Structures are given as C-alpha cells and as structure tokens.
Amino acid sequence: MELTSRQQKIVEIVKDEGPITGESIAEKLNLTRATLRPDLAILTMSGILDARPRVGYFFSGKTTMQAIGESIKNKLVNDYKSVPILVKESSTVYEAICTMFLEDVGTLFVVNDHSHLVGVVSRKDLLRSAIGRQELEVIPVSVIMTRMPNLILTFPDESLHAAATKLIQFQIDALPVVKPLASDSAAQKYEIVGRITKTSITKAYVELGSEEL
C-alpha cells in the first residue's frame, strides 16, 4: 500500500500529537472533517492508525507492510469458503468425471453414507484412471481417491493465510473446510462444510487491494 501525500501528513501529525481528534487533524491541514474521513478510514482499516471513541486517533507503531500482513492474517477461512462439490464413495469414476466437468472444478470431496469426509479426488486422479483404459463405469471412486487420514484439512476458524500456506506447501488446488464430529471410535470423523481454493485466495487478495485504494 502506497500512501498519498495527504495520508502521509496525517500519519506524521498523529505520530507527533496523538491521541488527536479528527477535527484537530482537519484544522491542522486546513481541510474539513468530511474531506479527511476517507483517508482516516483507510489508515484505520489498514492498521496504521488506531481510533478510540472520545479519545481520538493514535499511531499503532506498525509499518505499512506490517499492517497489510496483519490484515491478511486476520481474514478467516469461514469468510471465504465456497460450496464443496461432493460425490459418494460408491460413485463410479465415470460419474466423478461427469460431476467434475459439469461443476467446472478441479477437486471433488468424497463422503460416505453418513456424509462424513472420507477422501479427495483430483483432476489428476481421474485423468490417470482414464489413461489406464479401465472400465470407468464400474470402478468406484473410492479405489482411486486419497483417503483419510492422509488429507490436508482446514477449519472455519483458521486464518486464510494458514490455508494458503497449506495449498502452497503441499502443492494442492483445494482444501476441504471441516468441522470435527464427536466419535466413539479412535478415528476422528469430519463434516465437510466448505472448500478453500486458489480462487478463494485470489478473491481475498483483490478485496484487500480494494480496501486500500
């Protein structure tokens, strides 16, 4: 984020004299409070300034890059998750290919009859099966999927930054967003409540840039 010359002046005033009210900042710059309102909103949302009711604005002590980084880390998976595309583990590979094509996605999440997450199927998995000239109308998707507990998961209250790190670290296109379920067995069961993809991360990045224009 590159500050305008007026925003830089505001930051300097707040650094030297904060806490200071918006009216006082406007007087020092010979501007109206309404004129300064967008600049103060941007500086506050980005974390460079803090504001307290009946006290005024004060400098947070963060650099612009630190403020942007904190803004990114404060975004949660729950706010950016999209609807997961599901198939049953009893579905055939052919049915999975059709679902992936019709939904225009690169990853399918596999659930059992209780709607618990049991696996993931990627475009590569399906392509590999098709190249093998196998009977795609007969083979269940459970044969080719990556199974629990070998899945990389994310959770609604996890930061979007952490989810993005997993996508990069494990070189995958999508993460299932899950909620743990109570279970009597040793194996943890999960309900799938969404998905996070590279598109989700791009959306967050675009929104962050829009906030700071």
pLDDT of residue 68: 59
Do the Cβ atoms of 112 and 89 come closer than 8 Å?
Answer: yes
Q: What b-and-e string marks burial along 60-89, b requiring 16 or more CB atoms within 10 Å of the CB? A: bebebeebbeebbeebbbbebbeebbbbbb
Q: Quick one: what percent of the chain has pLDDT higher than 70?
A: 89
pLDDT of residue 210: 60
CA distance 58 to 27: 17
Q: Judge whether residue 208 has pLDDT over 70.
A: no
Stretch(es) of the chain classified as CATH 1.10.10.10: 5-71
Q: Judge whether residue 205 has pLDDT over 80.
A: no
Please indicate whether residue 213 or residue 151 has the higher confidence score (pLDDT). 151
For 170, other C-beta atoms within 10 Å of its C-beta total 10
Phi, psi of 106, rounded to the nearest 5 degrees: -110, -5
For 119, other C-beta atoms within 10 Å of its C-beta total 22
pLDDT of residue 107: 96
Q: How confident is the model at residue 163 (pLDDT cuts 50, 70, 90)?
A: very high
Stretch(es) of the chain classified as CATH 3.10.580.10: 77-205
CATH number of this structure's domain 77-205: 3.10.580.10
User: What is the rounded average pLDDT of the residues 10-18?
Assistant: 89
pLDDT of residue 42: 84
The helix (run of H) or strand (run of E) holding residue 134 is none
pLDDT of residue 51: 85
Please give the angle made by the CA atoms of 180, 181 and 183, to the nearest 5 degrees.
125
Q: Judge whether residue 207 has pLDDT over 60.
A: yes
- What is the CATH architecture assignment of 5-71? Orthogonal Bundle (1.10)
**Which tens digits make up the pLDDT trace of 68-98?**
566 667 789 999 999 999 999 999 999 999 9
Per DSSP, helices labelled H in 46-122 are 64-73, 77-80, 93-103
Q: Is 138 exposed, middle or buried (0-12, 13-18, 19+ CB in 10 A)?
A: exposed
